[in-house]
Structure 1
Amino acid sequence: MKVLVIGATGYIGAAVAERLAGDGHEVVALVRDPAGSGLTGDVRRGDLREPESLIGAVTPDVDAVIHAASPTGDERVDVAAVRALISTGKPLVYTSGVWVLGRTGEPATEEAPVDPLPLVGYRPAVERIVLDGGGFVIRPGIVHGYGRGIPALLAAQAAEYGLGRYVHAGGPPPVWPTVHVADLADLYPLVLERARPGDLFHAVAEEGVPVSTIAEAAARAAGTPCARAVPWPVEQAAEVLGRPFADALALSQRVSGARARRELGWTPSRPGIVEDLAAGATEDALSEIGAGGTP
């Protein structure tokens, strides 16, 4: 297949493009600045804020579209973008995230009701447009791998403060559903090849990992003198990270990824988040926030 990947230079999008190419698919990269992207091959210009540029990029030779770009934060813009992509008639895979579910106790399946955090408040509406238009939605958990994503932010925080910290809103420490970025990338071609129009899948390898354990692993990865983790009150974290993102990091979720395994044969096999952090993390984390590395 010839697949247009929106956000092909981002954390998730780059991994997806690499996986597609490895499977023998022809990748078309859609970026805002082709000349400055550093990419080779078929690279086209497009901007989520310009729906006509998206439609123009989906030429007749394109078989499917994967939207792995970061949301703009503007509901009007993001809704117009997915409507434009649906209008092309090509299969569309949209990357959402598990934060649309809100707090969960038992592992949430794809049938669970949504209760989105303010940070992703309008994302369920975008999902619905995609699904009603015959597209597909993937909801990744907390994405990790290759020293990037939110876990790298924890490592950067640990390096700065000398010990691990995790955002805490009271009660038991939260747990996070997680997925390695390479395992996540494996799911996209499976969706294109095997899923039915209107299907929704959770991309979750580990249903719920204690964030305190993740923060301890981040402290060890950062080489701190004290490889332990302490709660970071959400009010204090909000002063540094902003309230919406701090609330998201304090969210406790257990999410099931069983459907993708059962129906598509998805088999996540990369290291879990704690093992991954043990291999080391970078401090270049803040640039990932909102750049395709969050759910």
Structure 2
Amino acid sequence: MRILVLGATGYIGSAVTGRLAEHGHEVVALVRPRAGEARSVPGAAEVRYGDVADPASLRAAAGDVDVVVHAAAPTGDGAAESAAADALLSTGARVVYTSGIWVLGAGASAEDAPLAPIPLVAFRADVERRVREAGGVVIRPGIVYGRGGGIPALLAAKAAEHGRGRYVSAGGQEPTWPTVHIDDLADLFALAVEKADAGAVLHGVGEEAVPLSAVAEAAARAAGLGGTGAQAWPVEEAAGDLGPAFAEALALGQAVSAARTREALGWHPHRPGVVAELAEGSYRGGR
């Protein structure tokens, strides 16, 4: 298939681009234009220029492809995100939209759970609905890790800054995170393109509920701090450093199942868990 990938140079998008190419698809990468610069993207057969904030450029880029994988980082502007989705859906290409588990809110959730998005991602509920009604596919990744990137890299950097592991907490019971290795997630995107039913919701979750203290301790080890333990970082204090909306998201406690996704597509995440990856893998020594 001929597949346009938005965000093809980003953390998730670059992994997805590579995996789709490995599966034999012709990948067209959409990148932001830079004056006087010709660009190439690993795994992509072609590079096109456009911006998720420019619906006309999206329509032009997607006019001759079979599938669009929207893996671009959100702009934070709900109206712009909706306009981008409308532009892509108007082309007739099948859209695979990257949402996230934060649309589910706190607590335990499966693929059919009602949405209760936190403010940071409130716009995604409407975009999800539009994509599904048009026959597209929605993927909700957990906290993505691996290849030394993602939110766990931020935790390792904060551990180095503060001299010990820290995790954002709103008080009460220790929160847990659903997580997924970037390479397992890339596998899921390829399966979604090839096998998912129209209107499907897929959960990209390898571990359903990892205690944040364990993640923070592993982040400290990644930062070379040894067994310093982990400390709860009050969300009010973290908000001054990270911003209120992002701090709230990091403090969100969730347990998210991907059982239906695994059964429907035969997806079998098998890479190391987030604690092992932080403590012993790609985050060690700043890699």
* Pairwise TM-score range, normalised by the shorter structure: over 0.9
What is the number of equivalent residue pairs in this alignment? 282
CA deviation profile, 1:82-110 (whole Å, cap 9, x unmatched): 11111111111000000001101x3x111
274-283 or 213-222: which moved more? 274-283
13-22 or 68-77: which moved more? 68-77
State the Cα distance separating 1:59 from its structure 2 match.
3.0
Q: 1:238 to 1:31 in 2, by over 3 A?
A: same
What is the match of residue 70 of structure 1?
Answer: 73
Instruction: Percent identity, please.
Output: 57
What is the match of residue 166 of structure 1?
Answer: 167
Q: Report SS of the residue matched to 2:5.
A: strand
Distance 1:46 1:135 in 2: 21
Distance 1:283 1:129 in 2: 43
What is the match of residue 41 of structure 2?
Answer: 39
**What does 1:3-82 align with in structure 2 at a 5 Å threshold?**
3-33=3-33, 35=37, 37-39=39-41, 41-60=45-64, 62-82=65-85
Q: Report SS of the residue matched to 1:254.
A: strand
State the Cα distance separating 1:122 from its structure 2 match.
1.3
Contact 2:136 2:200 in 1 (8 A): yes
Structure 1 residues without counterparts, runs of 5 or longer: 286-295
Q: Report SS of the residue matched to 1:167.
A: strand
2:115 equivalent to 1:111: no
State the Cα distance separating 1:138 from its structure 2 match.
0.0
Distance 1:38 1:57 in 2: 16
Give, as a single letter, the amino acid of the residue that structure 1 aligns with 2:51. Answer: D
Contact 1:9 1:37 in 2 (8 A): no
Distance 1:253 1:39 in 2: 35
Give, as a single letter, the amino acid of the residue that structure 2 aligns with 1:144. Answer: Y
**What does 1:1-295 align with in structure 2 at a 5 Å threshold?**
1-33=1-33, 35=37, 37-39=39-41, 41-60=45-64, 62-104=65-107, 106=108, 108-224=109-225, 226-278=227-279, 279-281=281-283
Contact 1:159 1:224 in 2 (8 A): yes
Q: Report SS of the residue matched to 2:233.
A: strand
State the Cα distance separating 1:199 from its structure 2 match.
0.6
State the Cα distance separating 1:253 from its structure 2 match.
0.1
Q: Report SS of the residue matched to 1:177.
A: strand
State the Cα distance separating 1:36 from its structure 2 match.
5.8
Contact 2:224 2:285 in 1 (8 A): no
Q: Report SS of the residue matched to 2:260.
A: helix
State the Cα distance separating 1:284 from its structure 2 match.
8.1
* Root-mean-square deviation over aligned CA pairs: 1.6
Distance 1:284 1:239 in 2: 25
Q: 1:119 to 1:7 in 2, by over 3 A?
A: same
Give, as a single letter, the amino acid of the residue that structure 2 aligns with 1:133. Answer: A
Contact 2:278 2:284 in 1 (8 A): no
Structure 2 residues without counterparts, runs of 5 or longer: none
CA deviation profile, 1:1-37 (whole Å, cap 9, x unmatched): 1110000000000000000011111110001126364
Q: 1:284 to 1:8 in 2, by over 3 A?
A: farther
Give, as a single letter, the amino acid of the residue that structure 1 aligns with 2:187. Answer: D
Contact 2:224 2:284 in 1 (8 A): no
State the Cα distance separating 1:133 from its structure 2 match.
1.0
Give, as a single letter, the amino acid of the residue that structure 1 aligns with 2:20. Answer: L
